[in-house]
Amino acid sequence: QASRLVELPYSSFDDDDEDDNMAEQDPGVWYLQPPKLSPFSHCVRYLTFFWNLLFLLLGLLTLAVGVWGLLAKSPLPGGVPLSSDPMLLFVLAGLGASTVSLAGCLGAFRANPCLLRFFLGAVLAFGGLEVLGGLLLLLARRRLRDALQDLLLLCLLRYQDDPDLQFLVDEVQRSLQCCGLESYRDWESNPYFNCSAPGVQACGVPASCCQDPLENGSVPNIQCGFGVLGLGAAAAGAMVHTGGCGAALGAWLRGQAGAIATGAAVLLLLEAVGALMALRVLRDI
């Protein structure tokens, strides 16, 4: 009985010793280790990081341009509200691109599934909006043309009130060799160029309407369009471009349709490549 009493007591340490021995023999049974990533997976992860880093820098550059444009005009001239300032588009585009790209960078660098899922969702949302916008443009081309004409007319009315709009109108008129919306007479609706205005620009048009703004010189003559609205059609046609920018802009857009479609396709392709790389990293995680 004494020998049986020595052998019968049970101790939990015996099982612990046996578990330790089994773990030493086959540690994979008790401790699950993540599979080692292949060299291709490491390459995709690094490529995803640098891919998003590039777009992060582009987004920050766009954001900086927008903020600089807003601060350079502060306070906005003529009481122009901030919500209607064109530079706000650069701020919003740069902020959105940099935020999404930063999530992709950190998600790939830290192997964070939440950030990668956010990045994928944002890219898919942007891609869907771009495709939807393209379809709406194809279905509503006439309304788009009317909207562009309304925008150009608004730019003519606020030509002297906003430096960005002034730059935009001058570039359009200079590059397309046009003046006004339908004709050079549209500048009569501007309070600064109207013939009843008190300033020196009264009854005139901007220098970007002139056929030869340099006038055989090296510096543009900003007074080359003064008094044009008071002349006859023949005399005015010898000094400025009399055709409107509405028709010229429509013809230019139709000629650039292929380039615009190619640019949109390239943008969607870049977004698709970034999404596929993020999916591969997320699957490896």
pLDDT one-digit tens code per residue, 182-231: 889 989 988 889 888 888 888 999 999 998 887 666 677 888 888 898 88
Contact 18, 77 (CB under 8 A): no
CB atoms within 10 A of CB 221: 15
What is the rounded CA–CA span in Å between residue 263 and residue 261? Answer: 5
Tokens of 192: 């600064």
Q: What is the pLDDT of residue 245?
A: 87
Q: What is the pLDDT of residue 77?
A: 47
Q: What is the pLDDT of residue 35?
A: 55
What confidence category does residue 98 fall into, taking pLDDT thresholds of 50, 70 and 90?
Answer: very high
What confidence category does residue 83 fall into, taking pLDDT thresholds of 50, 70 and 90?
Answer: low
Task: Check pLDDT > 80 for residue 13.
Answer: no
Contacts of 246 (CB under 8 A, 6+ apart): 148, 149, 152, 181, 182
CB atoms within 10 A of CB 284: 16
Task: Check pLDDT > 80 for residue 147.
Answer: no
The average confidence (pLDDT) of the chain is 80
Distance from CA of residue 177 to its chain's centroid? 28
Minimum mean pLDDT range among 100-109, 178-187, 248-257: 248-257
Of 200, 199, 220, residue with least CA distance to 210: 220
